Amino acid sequence: MKIESKEYRTIWFENNVVKIIDQTKLPHRFVIKDLKTVMEAVNAIKIMEVRGAPLIGATAAYGLVLSILENKDQSFLKKSADYLIKSRPTAINLKWAVDRMMKKLSGVNSDKIFEIALKEAEEICKEDEKFCKNIGIHGLKIIEDIHNKKKDTINILTHCNAGWLATINWGTATSPIYQAHRKGIPIHIWVDETRPRNQGANLTSYELNEEKVPNTLIADNTGGLLMQRGKVDMCIVGSDRTLANGDVCNKIGTYLKALAAKDNNIPFYVALPSSTIDWKTKYHKNIPIEERNSDELSHIEGLDNDGNFKTIRIYPKKSKAMNLAFDVTPAKYITGLITEKGICEASTEGLKNLFK
């Protein structure tokens, strides 16, 4: 994707350093940051300088490369893997990526371990880029079908940032959007602000602007009314963990949008690469839901009139707050899952048929 007309990936390895775009500085500043140690990678995931399920998986993979650069000892590597897996609890990609790396690296005591690790981390990134592009190609068909019937601008609602910035390139929910835009299909995106961290406002709107895709920010509670008034043709969201039965765990608020979409007969799609599928967890109540610091609710960050970053408190100190980061949308509210292999029903059969 392009930032100020220059093509970027969200993470890359250069001169023994992992380069990331510090997402806590967006949209006001575009800062590329160096990660030099595994603990810097752990921290970048924890404080959400990198975020989004596929990107935190890729960062963890590169984190293990950094760990090997620091110390080739297997016990250090194992400890690093544990730290990385624990850095955020909900998105399954983190564990998926670490397990995939450790399968290649466990027991390797030769000097080759660094090359093996770097090759696998690069492979994870290349695969994610390819899968996300394919998600776009499959999802494009849905947008084309709607456009063939409507013959007018297609209004798509999305939640949080399941965009380029959440992946290596293309994004998941945004990939069909970018494909449709490049094909000249008139689209307009309703971007949920996505409180409390405002990934919709700060990141999705930012990247859509950079790619010149028409979009409008809305407060999180606005989608229902827009759906009732015929202003939403479809919803596409991402996923942090999709269970084998098709239930989808994604950014808090996704479930409420799916309920509103169902009530208004609006197609509700989830876009995800297979690295987001949790084949093991049987029941959605067993998914660990991240609970973040309530400061994210009570404080807000932005630029003051002089262009300086400021953090201000927005409600009384005495008010108690709870900050849960993800919710679960049951499969019955999902029209379809858009994956790298094609579109399937959100169900055990649907996923089984696609991923034999």
Per-residue mark of binding to ligand MRU, 59-98 (x: CB under 6 A): --------------------------------x-------
From CA 186, how far away is CA 132, in angstroms rounded?
21
Q: Looking at beta carbons only, is 239 or 335 nearer to ligand MRU?
A: 239
User: Can you tell me which of 59, 67, 87, 172 binds ligand MRU, judged by CB under 6 A?
Assistant: 172
Only one of the segments 106-114, 144-152, 158-166, 340-348 lies at the binding site for ligand MRU (rule: CB under 6 A); that segment is: 158-166
Active-site choice (240, 247, 278, 327): 240
How many residues bind ligand MRU (CB under 6 A)? The answer is 17
CB atoms within 10 A of CB 82: 11
Minimum CB–partner distance for residue 59 and ligand MRU (Å): 11
Minimum CB–partner distance for residue 276 and ligand MRU (Å): 7
Q: Is 339 in the site for ligand MRU (CB under 6 A)?
A: no
C-alpha 281 chain-centroid distance: 20
Q: Which amino acid is at 130?
A: K
Both ends of the chain: CA-CA distance in Å? 32
Q: Is 240 in the site for ligand MRU (CB under 6 A)?
A: yes
- Report helix, strand and coil shares of the chain as percent, to nearest 5: 40, 20, 40
Minimum CB–partner distance for residue 316 and ligand MRU (Å): 26
CB-neighbour burial class of residue 27 (10 A; exposed 0-12, middle 13-18, buried 19+): middle
Only one of the segments 1-9, 45-53, 215-223, 301-309 lies at the binding site for ligand MRU (rule: CB under 6 A); that segment is: 45-53
Minimum CB–partner distance for residue 125 and ligand MRU (Å): 14
50 by DSSP, 3-state: which?
Answer: coil
Only one of the segments 117-125, 138-146, 214-222, 238-246 lies at the binding site for ligand MRU (rule: CB under 6 A); that segment is: 238-246
342 by DSSP, 3-state: which?
Answer: strand
Contact 139, 179 (CB under 8 A): yes
Q: Which of 54, 49, 74, 51 is nearest to 64 (CA)?
A: 74
Q: Is 253 in the site for ligand MRU (CB under 6 A)?
A: no
Contact 167, 128 (CB under 8 A): yes
Q: Is 162 in the site for ligand MRU (CB under 6 A)?
A: yes
Residue showing the smallest CB distance to ligand MRU in the complex = 238
240 is catalytic: yes
136 by DSSP, 3-state: which?
Answer: helix
Structure tokens at 249: 């765990």
**Binding region for ligand MRU (CB under 6 A):** 51-54, 91, 160, 162, 166-167, 172, 199, 238-240, 250-251, 325
Which residue numbers are catalytic? 240
